[in-house]
Amino acid sequence: AQSVTQLDSQVPVFEEAPVELRCNYSSSVSVYLFWYVQYPNQGLQLLLKYLSGSTLVKGINGFEAEFNKSQTSFHLRKPSVHISDTAEYFCAVSKTSYDKVIFGPGTSLSVIP
Amino acid sequence: DARVTQTPRHKVTEMGQEVTMRCQPILGHNTVFWYRQTMMQGLELLAYFRNRAPLDDSGMPKDRFSAEMPDATLATLKIQPSEPRDSAVYFCASGSKTVDTQYFGPGTRLTVL
C-alpha cells in the first residue's frame, strides 16, 4: 500500500522569503510523485510531477521539487514566495500516471505581507 | 484547452434526498476517477473506471453511493439517500495511458442539510 505524509499542516512565511514544504511517501513499488495546489474555493491544479529521470523537477509558478529515493522524500521549494502563493498544497503518489492517486493531508501555505 | 467538466458546481439539498453529480471527462481519456474532499478526511478516492468498467470502488459507501459510466463521455455519482455527513466537495478526474497525469474537474460542492 502507498501512503503520503506531509509533516507540516501549516506554514506561514513572509513575502519574498524562501519556502520548503515537506513530503515523505511510503510504497513497496516505484511510484510517480506529484504536487498539486488548491487555491481557496478552487479545484486542484498540478504544480509539477516526477515520473522518471532527473531528480530535480521544475514546475509552474517558480516551484521545484527534488525526488530523493533513499529518503523517500519529494520536498517542494520556492526561492521567493508571493502573496498569490497562499494556498493549500498536496503531495500525492500514484503507481502509474493513470492509476488512482493517493494524497497527503495537505499543507496550508500562508504568505505574510 | 480540453477540460473536465462537472455539474452542478454547487448543490444544497435536504437529508434523505437523492443527489446526482455528473462528470464529462476529456475526450479520449479512458480512465475516470471520483474523489471526495472533506476537512476531516482530506482527499480520498471513492471509485474509478477504465474503459467504462469499474476498477475500484472500495472507497465508496455501498449502501447509499453508486457510480456509473453510461457512456464514454459521461460519469455519474449518485447518493441515495443523502446524509449531512456526505457534505463535501466531489472531484472528478480523467486520464489515460497516453497522458502523464490526471486532469481534475472544478468539483461539485455538496451541502446536505
Q: Tens of pLDDT along B22-70?
A: 999 999 999 999 999 999 999 999 999 999 999 998 889 889 999 999 9
Band of pLDDT at residue B100, cut at 50, 70 and 90: confident
Q: Does B1 score more than 90 pLDDT?
A: no
Distance CA B111, CA B13 (A): 6
> β-strands A56-58, A64-68: how paired?
antiparallel
pLDDT value, residue B33: 96
> B90 near B107, Cβ under 8 Å?
yes
Contacts of B44 in chain A (CB under 8 A): 103
CB contact under 8 A, B99 and A34: no
Q: Does B97 score more than 90 pLDDT?
A: no
Distances in Å between the alpha carbon of A10 and those of A31, A37, A45, A47? 26, 14, 19, 19
Q: Where do the H-state alpha helices sit in chain B? A: none
CB contact under 8 A, A100 and B45: yes
Separation in Å, CA of A21 to nearest CA in chain B: 17
pLDDT value, residue A48: 94
pLDDT value, residue B69: 95
Contacts of A51 in chain B (CB under 8 A): 100
Contacts of A103 in chain B (CB under 8 A): 42-44
Q: What integer is the mean pLDDT of B78-100?
A: 93
Band of pLDDT at residue B99, cut at 50, 70 and 90: confident
Residues in chain A where the model's pLDDT stays below 70:
none
Q: What is the mean pLDDT of chain B?
A: 94
Distant-in-sequence, close-in-space partners of A15: CB < 8 Å, separation ≥ 6 = A81, A82, A83, A111, A112, A113
pLDDT value, residue A49: 92
pLDDT value, residue A27: 85
Q: Which of A46, A101, A103 sits opposite B42 (nearest CB)?
A: A103
Separation in Å, CA of B53 to nearest CA in chain A: 14
